[in-house]
Amino acid sequence: MEFKRIVVTGMGALTPLGNTVDDYWNGLLNGVSGAAPITLFDASKFRTRFACEVKNFDPTQFLDKKEARKVDRFTQFALVVSDQAVTDAGLTKENINPDRIGVVLGSGIGGLITFQNEVVDFAKGDGTPRFNPFFIPKMILDIAAGQISMRHNFRGPNYAVVSACASSTNAMIDAMNLIRLGKADIIVTGGSEAVISEAGVGGFNAMKAMSERNDDPATASRPYDKDRDGFVMGEGAGILIFEELEHAKKRGARIYCEVIGGGATADAHHITAPHPEGLGAKNVMIEALKDANIQPTDVDYINTHGTSTPLGDIAETKAILEVFGPHAYELNISSTKSMTGHCLGAAGVIEAIACIKSVIHNKVPPTINHFTDDPELDHRLNFTFNKAQERPVNIALSNTFGFGGHNACVIVKKYS
């Protein structure tokens, strides 16, 4: 079966490294760490007191004050980046059919800050149920997709995807398949996450999942380093405009790249730990390569899940070696989470944007904060440690894995 071809015609990003796609990309190439002491709440009593926050973000610069108060921070992020991407793609009333444009957005947790604040306020009271009428509409995970559709009058398929940290990659795969099946001409897709809060940090601390390197936050995210001690929480959002190729050409759109395949699998192993041999990770890359109709030797760069956890980094590299064989040593591999931290449900799209920029500019962003080789890893692999590298990048692959054993992978290619 021959599928419709899908291209990316617009991008938007809010990240710990910058509040536009270009600022984010420049931060990656320069090896900037987005980690710093937490400012969004008083973290002095927490085991982890730092994170990768989106900086200098004032929602009222982009949204009406009244409108901004009615939505959670994760939806504020989503609305801002949707504006960026729609403008970047040149979508106007004159060149689109709103019934043929959908929104598919991922988030791992949604409005946790709203949920936390409402429940805490209730607990402080006398038991009388006094809740904000916007409590539920602010909190629910699908509301960001709904708000984007209302803001831009997009009336095609509209829903949210949740698969923990794989959410926005699964959203992109759904978006790709909706266009392939002829259900839409354009899908606004990606993800948003904003859970740097008492509940978010406290919850992940309780699981012992996060780094506690409070004395040196900037170097705390250390994927593939012997002394890695857990992930660094990040926040942010990314939006991509997926568009059917002929539709894009007809309206004279600028084309960034082609999206050629994706895959999704499950570890079926453990609620938080990866399969020790990387079975699900191996299978998802194989599935994505088959979907893209390419060979392992066609891939030039892998943006890994690479969270800086002791088990995860080992399992993923095992999977890469199994899937790519000798070609694994010809690839560039990097974890941009070393700079952005782990943006949870938004990680997939933020990292897909890094892959797209790599394909456009033939540059691979680094894995920063490497100090000591881990003897359990094969260091013949090119982890792109500490400094960006220039090389031809025709095809790039992005991996994202989530609690619950969810694995998702998307592949982008130079457009020709």
DSSP one-letter code for 49 = -
Short-list 327, 157, 340, CA closest to 238? 340
Q: What's the 3-state SS for 365-410?
A: CCECCCCCECCCCCCCCECCECCCEECCCCEEEEEEEECCCEEEEE
| Interstrand relation of 363-364 and 186-193 (parallel, antiparallel or unpaired) | unpaired
Mean pLDDT by 10 residues, the chain (416 residues): 90 98 98 98 98 97 92 98 98 93 98 96 91 95 98 98 98 98 97 98 96 98 97 98 97 97 95 87 98 98 96 95 98 98 98 98 98 96 98 98 95 96
- Which helix or strand (DSSP H or E) is residue 50 part of? strand 50-51
DSSP one-letter code for 231 = B
DSSP one-letter code for 132 = -
Question: Could you give the CA distance from residue 383 to residue 32 in angstroms, rounded to a whole number?
Answer: 17
pLDDT at 277: 86
Short-list 368, 394, 161, CA closest to 260? 394
Return the half-sphere exposure (C-beta side, CA atoms, 13 A cut-off) of residue 21: 23
Could you tell me the domains of the chain?
8-250 (3.40.47.10), 258-413 (3.40.47.10)
Short-list 63, 73, 153, 143, CA closest to 105? 143
- Tokens for 15, please give them: 């990240």
Taking CA atoms, 391 is separated from 29, 262, 360, in Å, by: 13, 24, 11
- Which helix or strand (DSSP H or E) is residue 250 part of? helix 245-250
Contacts of 406 (CB under 8 A, 6+ apart): 163, 164, 165, 166, 170, 264, 266
pLDDT digits 0-9 by tens, 27-69: 999 999 999 999 999 999 999 999 999 999 999 999 999 999 9
Question: Could you give the CA distance from residue 31 to residue 132 in angstroms, rounded to a whole number?
Answer: 42
pLDDT at 101: 98
The Cα angle at residue 291 between residues 288 and 296, in degrees rounded to 5: 55
pLDDT at 1: 63
Give me the DSSP letters along 322-336.
HHHGGGGGTSEEE-T
Question: Could you give the CA distance from residue 107 to residue 367 in angstroms, rounded to a whole number?
Answer: 25
Q: Are 276 and 315 in contact (CB under 8 A)?
A: yes
| Exposed/middle/buried for residue 392 (C-beta within 10 Å: 0-12, 13-18, 19+) | exposed
Which residues form the catalytic set? 165
